[in-house]
């Protein structure tokens, strides 16, 4: 029986990463355009990679506080299905980006405590999806992709009116518990499916997807 959980593999950089994700059952692949990330790809490389993604798999562009010019340049080259905003974009900026580009937007919200969930509520009317991620540590170089989980009890039993993904420190070992505790129907992973930062590992992708899709 097909699983009712969707998996996103974020930070794919090679055709082999895409093949591993798709064969393992992922429904989303993420291209990371945050230059300081070990997972970042150039627009040119991502355009070539996007051609490898089968029809029906959602191609997500992960960007952090993008300018209009940067998004214009990216979307002119790349057939993207969804924009993931992973910076400090306000609800008004999310609305602006959606209107300008006509693409679904997933807004990432970092969660460390109950106050962050109030901030999340402000995006429910403007974003198409919410990515509920761990809040990065103050001194972190990356605003996401740090392999850190948040306290899932904070969102246990929460229901939101838009689709959402659980992210942050998910691994093959803990994703089943994360799904069970939070009721997530979608999960997103970057670092736990890598052998070293920025290098995806097909066996780890398979193990993660098998665990997430076992539900």
Regarding 146 and contact with ligand LGQLAAA5 (CB under 6 A), the answer is: yes
Comparison of 9 and 126: residue with beta carbon closer to ligand LGQLAAA5: 9
Among 191, 200, 212, 213, binds ligand LGQLAAA5 (CB under 6 A): 191
Comparison of 1 and 145: residue with beta carbon closer to ligand LGQLAAA5: 145
Comparison of 5 and 142: residue with beta carbon closer to ligand LGQLAAA5: 142
Point out which span in 16-24, 114-122, 175-183, 190-198 binds ligand LGQLAAA5 (CB under 6 A).
190-198
Q: How far apart are CA 149 and CA 137, in angstroms?
A: 11
Regarding 59 and contact with ligand LGQLAAA5 (CB under 6 A), the answer is: no
**Total residues contacting ligand LGQLAAA5 (rule CB under 6 A)?**
26
- How many CB atoms are closer than 10 A to CB 195? 11
Q: How far apart are CA 5 and CA 88, in angstroms?
A: 28
Among 41, 80, 94, 167, binds ligand LGQLAAA5 (CB under 6 A): 167
Regarding 110 and contact with ligand LGQLAAA5 (CB under 6 A), the answer is: no
Among 147, 163, 176, 183, binds ligand LGQLAAA5 (CB under 6 A): 147
Comparison of 67 and 99: residue with beta carbon closer to ligand LGQLAAA5: 67
In this structure, are residues 185 and 5 in contact, taking their beta carbons and an 8 Å threshold?
Answer: yes
Give residue for tokens 């460390």. Answer: 112
- List residues near ligand LGQLAAA5 by CB under 6 A: 10-11, 30, 32, 34, 37, 39, 62, 64, 86, 133, 142-147, 167-170, 188-192
């Amino acid at each position: 029986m097909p699983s009712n959980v969707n998996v996103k593999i974020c930070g794919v950089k090679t055709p082999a990463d895409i093949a591993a994700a798709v064969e393992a059952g992922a429904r989303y692949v993420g291209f990371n355009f945050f230059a300081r990330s070990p997972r970042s790809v150039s627009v040119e490389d991502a355009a070539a990679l996007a051609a490898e993604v089968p029809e029906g798999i959602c191609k997500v562009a992960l960007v952090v506080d993008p300018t209009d010019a940067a998004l214009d340049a990216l979307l002119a080259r790349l057939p993207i299905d969804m924009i993931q905003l992973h910076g400090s974009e306000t609800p008004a900026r999310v609305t602006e980006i959606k209107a300008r580009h006509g693409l679904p937007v997933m807004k990432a919200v970092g969660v460390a405590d109950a106050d962050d969930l109030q901030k999340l509520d402000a995006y429910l009317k403007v974003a198409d999806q919410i990515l509920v991620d761990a809040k990065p540590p103050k001194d972190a170089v990356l605003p996401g992709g740090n392999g850190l989980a948040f306290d899932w009890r904070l969102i246990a039993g929460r229901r939101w009116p838009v689709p959402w993904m659980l992210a942050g420190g998910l691994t093959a070992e803990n994703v089943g518990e994360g799904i069970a505790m939070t009721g997530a129907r979608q999960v997103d992973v970057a670092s736990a499916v890598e052998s070293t930062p920025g290098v995806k590992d097909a066996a780890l992708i398979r193990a993660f997807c098998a665990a997430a899709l076992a539900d």
